Structure 1
């Protein structure tokens, strides 16, 4: 019998080794393809980093371009310059001088947001002043011909609409995923509204603002004359929502075409919809996690088993109790918008879940520290470097390090509970969906209990969902290899704290 079994065992090891090799080669190929495409999109451009006071700028110019209009590009809430790069690259290739910047409190801008976020004469006014300062610097750049346009996404759409109405220098405005109450029948001049097909409420708002200029107008119509007295247009980018609209070829074409009409230009050059290239790179990094995790020492502990009853109690009780308990607690202890509450929510939810699991006899097992630290390093350094260059700011300024540390106090217990409930990567998909859905429902309950203060949590939920999808897969590779849910939880907790700490805007009242 022993002789009959041995070949199968050797064959099994060989098949697994071959699968790991294929995964490694495929992951590496995807990463290289994504990087090659993303770097090729920058070819022929000069990209320069400058400062407007404390505001960091990135200037994109086509090599050898004649003097041309400037386009100041503004990101949305919790975004950064990198988030808007598809528009900056497309417009720079078209011959414009594209200037992207980090709003106060965002990205690498060391000055926190301030004022009252609910009042136009509060935070909104301060951000308008910042755009004014950036516009001053942009118009003084070599290659600027004195004409200027504003382009902004989401939160920035309201800021640029108000600034364009107040600043007579602004010749055109491109508002992406716009929500603003400042639009009138004639202001701002030469307004293009771009909305994703799956942004139903914003589409209605865009059409309403188009009808202010002409009650008979419909989506896709152009009202007035953008090359003359002024015009307005509202269009829908097909098959995209609030984030993917930033990588839509249709949206990029519309933005470039509108600016050409306003400024009397005929542009050429590529439309750099970089979303597909970014997806290739990130997919490659996820795929590489499996063969890289196989290099870690293999754990010999039996897979963790969490009975269904224990799982239900450890997820549903914290999901209900946490938002209710924190409703009566002042969680404003960090100089960031909403992240202080989220850190407290993670801590209470995670601690309750861990306690309930332990009380029901679930054993957590040992900590594989090498696996935990390797997972954290791969997420923060490996993934983080790619994200910071091509997607959004991920490498923090010094002022954000204490914020990351404070969020980790809540993020690590939460991810420990999550990893144990997921049985160290061995749970069925339906269990994983249940566990994550319970947490997201808990956040939704918190928002419902305090909409005024916690509304911005709804905007950050897509970031958390993306974290679960991407890093959940990577963490599962480490958990299964090491046999240590605690290693998976610690590593993922540190990555989550880092991601939230570099994403939420820094903020001080007043």
Structure 2
């Protein structure tokens, strides 16, 4: 059975890579040097002539790979596409600066960075002098505001948009795309369209494309804030909108990449099962589970106490937005959990000598397997030197937290209800922290999907490893390092 699972997993991995790489066929994809500008990538269709430039910008905690579905679709349609990493994001070593609470602070600096990218892209030999912007979430406000400045812009595609800068006249030819499950952002998109026509409905085109006054708010079905970036309907709508603006045509339907990415991640996860079965087997009988009363105390007490204790403090330990708080929340949560487990006598015998090399092996294999796939197809996963200290700081919190999680879930043996209580309690503790200090910690809400994905993928693998070895600490230590790395490359750097 182990060999059969391994074969199926490898087939899933190879098939998904083949399909994802097919989306790059027919294009030249290369680094794009910008003097005094951010790291960027240019996408060009082979054999195409001069064409309008589309600058693609990611949202908060995003990076170039996250926006690649749009970059590929537009490049296949013949556009000169340039995608880049905003300051503090991805592989951009320059941290975000300025006041994030004012329009003339960080927002203005991000606009300046976008403008430098646009000017460099317009100087490319394949550029025909015309320009459009496409941006997601945070970047939607940046591109809408930048459209009021030079260089002149002919169209704007704002995905999951929010902005107070839209007027009846600006920006020109504005398409607003939201996910069906983004209720508040769909309302915001409709509000912007109704500045031109108060009676406009969702999906209705108002204004005239030829005059640059067009407005439309649409939604991609059955997706949310990130899924909208992979929705073929969203990709096709953006291409058609720009084709109408620039009087072009002939674009092919966009490739559905999201499903192949999920298959790739599922295949990599599945490979972990036969690899886990190759680890040394458990020695001796498993320990008895914690009594229900003690389990509930250990699982729930930190969830309430930690956010209440940390709420009064303005924590600034790391040069990363809200990650300093998250690192301390992890550390306090993990330390309190481990203390309660120690009092219950559950740390004795959990750290034999073989734990440490096995935990290191788990971390290296997981980082290599998922890191390469995520970095190429999903989001930046390889840190620049400035992020090493951030990863180390997060590890001081993530390792004790995930170690406590692994012990409470009994090395993968705990009933499902106990697993849900343990992990649900932690997520609720983060939500409580945000509620107690929304203005400072609201960005933690953006990171919750990352933690949920981590639970789904790495929690599954942790169970396989724990059940095989009988050592919860192997998965706790190994995947604690992986969690620190994952979050350390995600949060924006901020000076």
* Alpha-carbon distance, 1:299 to partner: 2.2
Say yes or no: does 1:485 pair with 2:472. Answer: yes
Tell me if structure 1 keeps the 8 A contact 2:41–2:83.
yes
Q: Which of the residues 74, 99, 102 maps onto 2:57?
A: 74
Distance 2:342 2:244 in 1: 66
Quote the residue 1:183 is aligned against.
166
* Alpha-carbon distance, 1:101 to partner: 0.3
Quote the residue 1:457 is aligned against.
444
Q: TM-score, normalised by structure 1?
A: 0.94
Quote the residue 2:351 is aligned against.
366
Tell me if structure 2 keeps the 8 A contact 1:59–1:99.
yes
Higher mean Cα deviation, 370-379 or 480-489?
A: 370-379
Deviating 4+ runs (over 3 angstroms):
none
Say yes or no: does 1:377 pair with 2:361. Answer: no
Quote the residue 2:2 is aligned against.
20
Give SS of 2:168's match: coil
Tell me if structure 1 keeps the 8 A contact 2:119–2:151.
no
Say yes or no: does 1:154 pair with 2:113. Answer: no
* Alpha-carbon distance, 1:482 to partner: 1.3
Give SS of 1:213's match: coil
Say yes or no: does 1:441 pair with 2:428. Answer: yes
Quote the residue 1:291 is aligned against.
274
Quote the residue 2:326 is aligned against.
342
Quote the residue 2:84 is aligned against.
101
Tell me if structure 2 keeps the 8 A contact 1:371–1:478.
no
Quote the residue 1:193 is aligned against.
176
Work out the number of aligned pairs and report it: 490
Point out where structure 1 has 5 or more consecutive residues left out of the alignment.
1-18
Quote the residue 1:311 is aligned against.
295
Give SS of 2:195's match: helix
Distance 1:192 1:171 in 2: 12
Quote the residue 2:407 is aligned against.
420
Quote the residue 1:12 is aligned against.
none
Give SS of 1:222's match: coil
Tell me if structure 2 keeps the 8 A contact 1:93–1:270.
no
Q: Which of the residues 384, 402, 426 maps onto 2:389?
A: 402
* Alpha-carbon distance, 1:230 to partner: 2.2
Say yes or no: does 1:35 pair with 2:17. Answer: yes
* Alpha-carbon distance, 1:448 to partner: 0.7
Tell me if structure 1 keeps the 8 A contact 2:37–2:113.
no
Q: Which of the residues 26, 32, 36 maps onto 1:44?
A: 26
Give SS of 2:177's match: strand
Distance 1:164 1:477 in 2: 52
Give SS of 2:321's match: coil
Q: Which of the residues 348, 365, 387 maps onto 2:374?
A: 387
Quote the residue 1:16 is aligned against.
none
Q: Give per-residue Cα distances to partners, 1:107-164, cap 9 Å, x unaligned.
A: 0000000111111111101000000000011111121111010000011111111111
Distance 2:80 2:377 in 1: 20
* Alpha-carbon distance, 1:306 to partner: 2.4
Quote the residue 1:11 is aligned against.
none
* Alpha-carbon distance, 1:54 to partner: 4.3
Q: Which of the residues 192, 195, 207 maps onto 1:212?
A: 195
Distance 1:273 1:186 in 2: 34
Distance 2:362 2:338 in 1: 21
Give SS of 1:47's match: strand
* Alpha-carbon distance, 1:168 to partner: 5.3
Give SS of 1:70's match: strand
Q: Which of the residues 304, 307, 310 maps onto 1:320?
A: 304
Tell me if structure 1 keeps the 8 A contact 2:387–2:488.
yes
Q: Give per-residue Cα distances to partners, 1:347-395, cap 9 Å, x unaligned.
A: 0000001101111222452342232112101221111011001110001
